[in-house]
Amino acid sequence: MTTLLGPRLGTLVGRLRRRPGDTPDRPARRSNPDAVVDCAVYVNGRREAGRPHYADAYARSRRGRNAFVWLGLHDPGAAVLAAVGQVFGLDELTVAQALADGHRPTVQRHGPVTLLVLRTAAYVAQGELTATSDVVDTGDVMVLLGDRFVVTVRHGASGALAPVRREIEGRPSLLAEGPWAVAYAVTARMVDLYLEVAAHLERDLERVEETVFAPEHAADIQQIYQLKRELVEFKRAVLPLQEPLRALVAGPDGGLPAGLRRWYVDVEGRLTRAVDRITAYDELLNSLLQSRLAQLAVDQNNDMRKIAAWAAIAATQTAVAGVYGMNFARMPELSWRYGYPAALALMATAAFTLHRLFRRSGWL
């Protein structure tokens, strides 16, 4: 009885441990970690069905012709990136760079792998610009390019790549160029975001410019300085991309497919437009800041003139009252019955005359 129950019990436990859809001859399918946003194999520019584990997808891409895998990660941990690095053959330095954020936009080559670092940017709408308004949110996107794979690692909330994947999947002829087509689509998306943020900042600058020269309520200088700080952060995300992108387009060994070079040239042109607009905004903000400082200096000068004018008016009253308040026995008009009213009339006349003179000269 015991000998028969043992094998049956083992078979029952094995069945309970299996997942639905598993067979005794095939192990359970692996699932991607939470940091994986999407993973797909593309053959001749078209996506294969399903969302396989990135290791299975990479193995599939290496067996097929004109195939590659695109793995998208968002804020992955060290363990996930280490496992991804083992599958795709990334060295330790590349994994460490992809794990950290805040890098300067650049293009680096680590053996057969190319690392393209981009900065994301998004405009955060505010009901009213204040001295603490954060209107620009930045992050990082790192694109790791190999012969049969592209891995995108995104840090931060801005710069989601799901629209990029949907758009380029609708252009199979472009996607058939391989991993560099994905790098182009990601770069183009970032540059488009730069132009969108620049358009929003232009409207904010117009509002600030109106308030700076408004006669009723001038802009607070802290508000202008905060907007300038946001623009500086935006500049750090956009301007450094010019040099690596130019080197990538002009370099003879850039690794770009011939069919993609003109697309990268177009992206470079749009990036130049964004840089020109940001530079113009920075100069305008500097002018607004200097204008506001000049206004403050003029306002302070006007206040000092008003204070000096009123001090002069009060000085005449003090002088007359001081002379007649010395209590000497023999002074003019002390025994005159109209002396007190005459002194008051003199003080009022002096104050009225000085007030008219200061008003005429613009001091009051």
Average pLDDT over residues 56-78: 92
Most confident region among 16-20, 119-123, 255-259 by mean pLDDT: 119-123
pTM here is 0.75
Q: Residue 105: is its pLDDT beyond 60? A: yes
| Residue 15 confidence (pLDDT) | 41
| Residue 19 confidence (pLDDT) | 41
Q: Residue 267: is its pLDDT beyond 50? A: yes
Q: Residue 8: is its pLDDT beyond 50? A: no
Distance CA 69, CA 81 (A): 16
| Residue 272 confidence (pLDDT) | 94
Average pLDDT over residues 193-222: 83
Distance CA 166, CA 37 (A): 13
Q: Are 206 and 138 in contact (CB under 8 A)?
A: no
Closest listed residue to residue 269, CA positions, set 192, 197, 202: 192
**Is pLDDT larger for residue 156 or for residue 192?**
192
Token readout for 233 is: 């952060």
Longest dimension (CA), the chain: 142
CATH placement of domain 26-296: 3.30.460.20
Helix (H, G, I), strand (E, B) or coil at 150: strand
| Residue 218 confidence (pLDDT) | 62
Please, which pLDDT band fits residue 300 given cuts at 50, 70 and 90?
confident
| Residue 217 confidence (pLDDT) | 61
User: How large a percentage of the chain has pLDDT more than 90?
Assistant: 44
Average pLDDT over residues 348-364: 81
pLDDT in tens, 241-250: 999 999 888 8
Domain ranges of the chain: 26-296, 301-361
Q: Are 57 and 42 in contact (CB under 8 A)?
A: no
Report the half-sphere exposure of 80 (CA within 13 A, side-chain side). Answer: 20
| Residue 44 confidence (pLDDT) | 93
Average pLDDT over residues 15-31: 46
* Least reliable range by pLDDT among 14-18, 65-69, 137-141: 14-18
Sign of the alpha-carbon dihedral angle for 196, 250, 119, 209:
negative
* Least reliable range by pLDDT among 16-25, 107-116, 290-299, 301-310: 16-25
Q: Are 161 and 186 in contact (CB under 8 A)?
A: yes
Closest listed residue to residue 113, CA positions, set 126, 97, 136, 124: 97
Q: Residue 308: is its pLDDT beyond 50? A: yes
CATH of 301-361, one of 1.10.10, 1.20.58, 1.20.1260, 2.60.40: 1.20.58
| Residue 29 confidence (pLDDT) | 58
Average pLDDT over residues 172-197: 94
Average pLDDT, the chain: 83
| Residue 213 confidence (pLDDT) | 76
| Phi, psi angle pair for 130, to nearest 5° | -125, -175
